[in-house]
Amino acid sequence: MSALRALRALLAAWRGDRYAHGFVLLLPAIQYGLNYFASVAALLFVLAVWNTRLRIVALPSLIVLLATGASLVWAIAWVPDAPNLAREARLAVGLLVMFWALAGTPRHHAERFDGRWALIVLLALSVFTALQSLAALKGISIFVPQKMFFKADDAALASKWVEHAREHGYQWKLRSAAGFSEPSYLGCVTLLLHFVCLHTLRGRLRSLAGIVAFATCLIAQTYFGLLSNLAILIVFHARRLPKSFALPAGVLVLSVIALLVTTDALPLAAQQSGRLMRILDGQDVSTGLRLFEPFKLIAQILSQAPFGLPLTIVDPYLLRQGLIAPFEDTPLHNGVLNLLFAYGWLGVPLIGLLWRTAGGGVAALFMLLMMAQNGASLDFDKLAMIIFATQIARHGPYRQTIPRTRAAVRASSALMPFAPPAAQPERHIREV
C-alpha cells in the first residue's frame, strides 16, 4: 500500500507541473537528434524559454552587444581570417537569453516540482553506468550508437571509439558514460540532478541523491563530476553552518591533506587509478584542454587581442602564432574561459554580471560549473539546463513562505493539492 501511495503522489506531482517533470525525464536524451536544430536539446531550450518570463536587463545587454561588436571589429581590422557571422550572432543571442532568463521568473509552477522525479532519473543513470562498466569488463559494448547523437562526428563519442577499435583489431577500454557522449557530460547531468535534489528534497532522500551522484561519477571516473558535485554540496551546506565552524573545518581539511601527502597516501591512491596519476603528472589530455592549456594562452590573447577574437577564428590565429600544434584539439573546452577568448577584457565584467544575475552563492557556482564542462556553454543544451535548474532552486517547494499555524498549513495544502507532502513540513511548526 505504501508503494501505491507513493506512486499516486508522484503522479499527482506530475500533474502539478508537467513541464518541469517532463524536462527531467528528457535529460538522458538531451544529446540525441537529427541535427543541432532538430534535437532534444533544441526542444528543451524552446520549452525553457517559453516557460520563462524573460526580463531584459540593460547593463548586461549593453556590454554583450559592445563586446560582440568590438571583437568582430578587431578581428576584421587585424586578423586575416573571416569569422562566421551567423554563428557569432547565435552565441551572442544565447548569452543575452541567459541573462534575460536568469533575471526573469518562471511561467510554470516551479513550487510544485517534486524532487523525487529527479532522484529517479539519477538512480536510472547510476544503474546504467554500473551495467555499462560491468559489461565493458567482459568486452561487451552497450554504448549508444553514433547515429543517435545530433553531433555524430564528435570525436568524444564512446561508440565511435569502440567501432574504431573493432575495425583495427585491438581491444578498447573506455570509461562509462551512460547514454551520453563522454563521461564528463554524464558528470554534468548528475550535477544538475544533484543540485535540483538539494533544493527540493529533505532528509534521507537528499542524502541518497548525493551518494548516488558521487557513486555514478566514481564509476565513470569523471573527476569533473566528482569535484563539481563536491563543490556544490559544500557550498550548499556551508551557509547553514555557524561562522565559528568555518575556521576549524578549514584547519581540519588542510591537516588531512597534509597527512595524505606526507604519508604518501595520495600518490599511492593515484597509482591505483591510472587517470588520476595522469592528471597529477599533467599528462591527462581532457584536463589539460579544459584547465591547464587555456590558462597558458589567456594572457597571450588578452595582451595581443584586448577585445578578444571571435571563437570561429581562434583556431587559425593560435596556429599562426605557434601557440598550439596542428591537427591537435584546441584549448577551447572551458565555456567560462571561452568568454575571455571571445571578448577579451570585456569578458571579465560579463562573468561578474553572470554571477550577480544568477544570484550569487550556490546557484551562481552551479552555473559556472555547467558552463565550464565543455566549450559549448551557450549552446541549446547548456542554456536549457542552466535556466531550468536555476528556476527550480529559486522557486522550488522549499522556497515558499512557510505558514506559522496549523490552520494556515491546511489552507495552503488545499490551495496546492499537487505539491509533494514534504513541501509543508508540519513538524517544524509551532503552535500559536
Cα–Cα distance, 91 to 347 (Å, whole number): 14
Global pTM reads 0.83
| Cα distances (Å, whole numbers) of residue 391 to 7, 9, 109, 353 | 25, 22, 10, 18
CA Rg, the chain, in Å? 23
Q: 105 pairs with which residues across the strands? A: 53
Give, for 53, the enclosing helix (H) or strand (E). strand 52-53
| Cα distances (Å, whole numbers) of residue 298 to 166, 302, 319 | 39, 6, 15
Grid cell of 183 as nine digits = 563521461
Mean pLDDT lowest for which of 311-315, 332-336, 381-385, 402-406? 402-406
| Cα distances (Å, whole numbers) of residue 281 to 260, 267, 275, 278, 300 | 17, 11, 10, 5, 24
According to the model, what pLDDT value does residue 412 have?
Answer: 41
pLDDT (mean) for 76-104:
93
pLDDT in tens, 235-284: 998 876 665 555 565 666 566 556 555 555 545 444 445 555 555 454 55
Cα–Cα distance, 273 to 192 (Å, whole number): 26
Q: What is the distance of C-alpha 103 from the center of its chain?
A: 19
pLDDT of 222 strictly over 70: yes
pLDDT band at 398 (very low <50, low <70, confident <90, very high): confident
The DSSP secondary structure of 260-322, one letter per residue, reads HHHTTHHHHHHHHSHHHHHHHTT--HHHIIIIIHHHHHHHHHHHH-TT---GGGHHHHHHHTT
pLDDT of 423 strictly over 70: no
pLDDT (mean) for 183-187:
93
Residues 6+ apart with CB under 8 A from 287: 223, 279
Cα–Cα distance, 199 to 424 (Å, whole number): 14
Cα–Cα distance, 197 to 188 (Å, whole number): 14
Q: Compute how many other C-beta atoms are within 10 angstroms of the C-beta atom of residue 225.
A: 27
